[in-house]
Structure 1
Amino acid sequence: MNRLQGDKEPFVLATVVRTISVTAAKAGAKAVIARDGSIVGGWIGGGCARGAVIMAAKAAFEDGETRLISIQPADLLAELGVEPGEEREGVQFAKNMCPSQGTMDIFIEPVLPRPALVIYGASPVAQALALQGPGIGFDITVCAPSEDLEAVQGAVVKVEGFQAVAPVPADTYIIVSTQGRGDLSALEEALKVPARHIAFVGSRRKMASLKTKLLDKGLAQLDLERIKGPAGLDLGAITPEEIAMSILAEILMVRRKDQRQSTIQHI
């Protein structure tokens, strides 16, 4: 777990919380599951539980939510009136195919790396984003000319220039807030990153003009459609700090979209 967290790799911790009758693993047994579905540490029993646990783990990687699965023999599922794969009151049921015919309840907990917010530029809005971003769980990287980086404060990684940042396992969000100091270069480099969200701080007219110039340079229209501009929700923001807040609110909305829908369904 320490190694995976150090490498910013996501994993799932599966913990046996209850067993009934004969089962290979007992309550308290744990296993660490990597993103490819392999068990890289620990043990929670043999093939009776493995398939259901790995399936639940892969779902947890997708939505970031914990879940409780109950692996039971067919006759007990029939008594409860549930089908394998069905969910009831927050418990997902699966069928135990092994001769032991025991019951295992397993808690699935995804441990995901902190999302990355990459900021191009060192404008007042960029500086405000660098200060506010860590407070809502983002690791911050600021890319800007070396002479501008001194103005950026906070717990951030500073990168000289606008070169594309290396992909990281975490979700990546990019904000270009260059304010005239390398707008085109920053946008070109941002488009090289497989980011979940790219946005530009500036007016609609400026954004349209920059997209036209990028098209003239040979970039594809489909790529340019990835850029949202102007960045942020329309909150009536005026100051750099308010604009940064509106941008973070939009990023949070994008990040939590699927999770909000799942929560509403559970309610």
Structure 2
Amino acid sequence: MGDTPMKHTIPLTLAEAEPEVASDVAPLMSRLQSGNEPFVLATVVRTISVTAAKAGAKAIVDREGSIVAGWIGGGCVRAAVLKAAKAAFEDGETRLISIQPPELLAERGVEPGEEREGVQFSRNMCPSQGTMDIFIEPVLPRPRLVVFGASPVAVALAQQARSVGFDFTVCAPAEDLAVFPSGIDRNTGFCSDIQSNAETYIVVSTQGRGDLAALEEAIKVPARHLGFVGSRRKLKTLLEKLADKGIAPVELDRIKGPAGLDLGAITPEEIALSILAELMMLRRQNQRRISHPTLDADSSG
């Protein structure tokens, strides 16, 4: 654990950052959040005995599993931190890891990788034999709902999406954009070159006004979910037309409809609520499916 901190200029994005730098992480955090880029913040909250990093030390971990800013110690702790960061990226949950020498773990009857009372334990094989408790906090992009169309359901989605944590983007003909509330992200026409991330959800709610054109563009956008507001019969007809245009079956299978949970919804507001409920369910199911990897970091430093 004899790594020496280095001074470095804070980069604009994760892609420009050099690994293992020990500059002030706050400016980089601000820029990454402004750019809606995901990262994990690792903070040393307690140390016992001799450790290279002390309480308050911080580091930023990128999606690829590299420490791109800050410094929390050498190889004796990095493996455990990076494993925990990987899990945090996947499930969006914070966690506390305690990296302790093998003798101390054995004395307490704790196995490496075990979790007790919310603390995940890992083995420290460094000669210094110190203990470090590190808080792992994922900072992930807000989920984004992209709606194609300007139907009453689309407008209701725009009104409700932010209240449940979604950023909102609409893609609709220019003459229809005026029906949406002010302050939302607007794109003229049904365009596929919109910004998306791992938490992007798409709903096509054209309802008879450009259904096929909207679906043809929406399917080009990488997204976790693509829903269609309309009947199963209507969607079946549209899927057949898309297939005739040469769109692969694996792509057509991404389109789910009718969008929304079956809540017996009738009004546009109720249908929008059922759609948002479905998206929330999909998000939570994805988080619950992911199991935490073990944090047995056996590094000789």
Does structure 1 conserve the Cα–Cα contact (< 8 Å) formed by 2:146 and 2:202? yes
Give 1:154 deviation, angstroms. 4.2
What SS class does the counterpart of residue 262 from structure 2 fall into?
A: coil
Distance across 2 between alignment mates of 1:203 and 1:169: 28
Paired residue secondary structure (1:12) = strand
Are residue 248 (structure 1) and residue 276 (structure 2) matched? yes
TM superposition score normalised by structure 2: 0.84
Aligned-pair distance for 1:113?
Answer: 1.1
8 Å CA contact retained: 1:117, 1:173? yes
1:9 aligns with 2:49: no
Secondary structure of the corresponding residue to residue 150 of structure 1: helix
Q: 2:125 aligns with which of 97, 102, 112?
A: 97
2:146 counterpart residue number: 118
The 5 A counterparts of 1:1-80 are 1-80=29-108
Question: How do 1:163-242 residues align onto structure 2 when only pairs under 5 Å count?
Answer: 163-242=191-270
Q: Encode CA deviations 1:131-164: one digit per residue, 9 max, x unaligned.
A: 1001111111100000001111143110011111
Residues 130 and 154, structure 1, Cα contact 8 Å, conserved in 2: no
What is the DSSP-based 3-state SS (H/G/I as helix, E as strand, rest coil) of the residue aligned with 1:181?
coil
Q: 1:195 to 1:262 in 2, by over 3 A?
A: closer
For 1:16-72, what per-residue CA distance to the aligned partner results, in whole angstroms no more than 9, with x for missing partners?
111111111111111111111222222111211111101110110011000110100
> Match of 1:115, as an amino acid?
P
Alignment size in residue pairs: 263
Structure 1 position 5, deviation (Å) = 0.7
In 2, Cα distance between the equivalents of 1:224 and 1:174? 14
The 1-side partners of 2:251 and 2:41 are apart by 37
Picking from 148, 155, 164, the partner of 1:136 is: 164
1:200–1:207 CA contact under 8 A, matched in 2: yes
Q: Which residue identity lines up with residue 249 of structure 2 in the other structure?
A: Q
Distance 1:232 1:154 in 2: 25
2-structure distance, mates of 1:168, 1:217: 25
Contact 1:129 1:244 in 2 (8 A): yes
Q: Percent identity?
A: 72
Q: Deviations over 1:222-244 (max 9, x none)?
A: 21111111000000100000000
Mapped to 2, the partners of 1:164 and 1:258 lie a distance apart of: 25
Deviates more, 1:85-94 or 1:117-126: 85-94
